[in-house]
Structure 1
């Protein structure tokens, strides 16, 4: 093979690779658009009247996750299954956002932490790497940490809406979350930096609870009462 033939062959490989990346980018753009739509729906819970609409907003978000499943099913077909991590950077950010949105919906519905398995089910993807397109554990953890920031905002807006028990429940949840992350030996630099932000979320919520306490508004919710 001559030098010219060799580089022509390489160019063919590069062109094919670029075509794959372009196909992936198109699907990722659709995923990002749907993620923005879900976020727009859920952002309304921060409004004073939004707490009454939580069930309907979560139901609407669940409907939009069906569109997410369709796009992810399409994304799986754009590259060889064994090359997941070769192209991972293309969808890493949007998958973390979708993990956050899944976690936020589940928290609003049940005030519990969503499992990685449940997030994968909501998105219609796998958990085990060997089974194909999956939710990487670091992407799941990043999504949970994004949710923590959203909950710190929700705690502040709860007070504005006159809901004085919700910040206490959020505080308990975030403190448990912080304790859980302290058990992890995080080596991933971006994830570690995001976890450092959890400390500020904890502090922000504690300030809200403290302010409620000194005003005599902080009361532990009764067992079995409405959330």
Structure 2
């Protein structure tokens, strides 16, 4: 091989290694934030319903700091190279989507949209060729939300909140119906969607038990 070609190749390899290391630094920072938020959110399983808003409020400052990390990531990624580097941060981004969606459910009782989540994460249109929240990553985060809510349905009964499983059941059924209408071609996403059936069954068993024991008003 021509020595000049070798020098060029080495230069390209070094440049890519530098980009990869800088990306890894930002992902590590984002992971630290998501672990802190997840640690706090895990307390919902042992917290009475009236104390949940205060718990969510303690998480919001950390969530609000995520856009700065994502913005730093967007600066690092070269233009038009979104798909080249996406796999490095997609898992971290999906966890952040889960946190945002769970906080939204706990306070609003509704499903956060893709647009709302992108706004919370500070995504900018001019970044879409470098960093963006894809529909796939959003849906992965929502599936994780359902996984967590199936656990919450059980623990709510333990805390004496017998109406929460009914609310969760209605919410999850709507999500499941929505997923059923999507044309899911991604194998990983499809498999994770199939797992929602087990979460839904688990929640329905809790609702059945609560109803059988007449722990909620008949109208519920």
Q: Shorter-normalised TM-score: what interval? A: over 0.9
By how many angstroms is 1:219 displaced? 3.3
* Number of positions where the alignment pairs a residue of Structure 1 with one of Structure 2: 220
The question of whether the paired residues in 2 share the 8 Å contact of 1:96 and 1:143 is answered with yes
Runs of 4+, deviation exceeding 3 Å: 126-132, 218-222
By how many angstroms is 1:17 displaced? 0.5
Describe the superposition over 1:85-111 as per-residue Cα deviations: whole angstroms up to 9, x where unpaired.
110011000000001111000000011
What secondary structure is seen at the aligned counterpart in 2 of 1:38?
helix
What secondary structure is seen at the aligned counterpart in 1 of 2:80?
helix
Describe the superposition over 1:92-133 as per-residue Cα deviations: whole angstroms up to 9, x where unpaired.
000000011110000000110000011011111147874752
Match of 2:190 in 1: 192
Match of 2:166 in 1: 168
The question of whether the paired residues in 1 share the 8 Å contact of 2:74 and 2:127 is answered with no
Q: Structure 1's 40 and 220: CA in aligned 2 closer, same or farther, altered over 3 A?
A: farther
Equivalences for residues 1-227 of structure 1 within 5 A: 3-47=2-46, 49-126=47-124, 130=128, 133-219=131-217
TM-score of the pair, normalised by structure 1: 0.92
Q: Distance in 1 between matches of 2:219 and 2:80?
A: 50
Structure 1: where are the runs of 5+ without partners?
A: 223-227
Q: Distance in 1 between matches of 2:137 and 2:123?
A: 13
Q: Distance in 1 between matches of 2:122 and 2:83?
A: 19
The question of whether the paired residues in 2 share the 8 Å contact of 1:116 and 1:127 is answered with no
The question of whether the paired residues in 1 share the 8 Å contact of 2:153 and 2:206 is answered with yes
Describe the superposition over 1:152-180 as per-residue Cα deviations: whole angstroms up to 9, x where unpaired.
01100100000001100100110111000
Q: Distance in 2 between matches of 1:169 and 1:220?
A: 14
The question of whether the paired residues in 2 share the 8 Å contact of 1:127 and 1:136 is answered with no
Q: Structure 1's 73 and 103: CA in aligned 2 closer, same or farther, altered over 3 A?
A: same
TM-score of the pair, normalised by structure 2: 0.95
Describe the superposition over 1:47-73 as per-residue Cα deviations: whole angstroms up to 9, x where unpaired.
0x3423211111121111122111111
Q: Structure 1's 129 and 30: CA in aligned 2 closer, same or farther, altered over 3 A?
A: closer
Q: Distance in 2 between matches of 1:130 and 1:98?
A: 18
By how many angstroms is 1:200 displaced? 0.6
Q: Distance in 2 between matches of 1:72 and 1:203?
A: 37
Q: Structure 1's 125 and 221: CA in aligned 2 closer, same or farther, altered over 3 A?
A: farther
Q: Distance in 1 between matches of 2:182 and 2:9?
A: 43
Match of 1:225 in 2: none
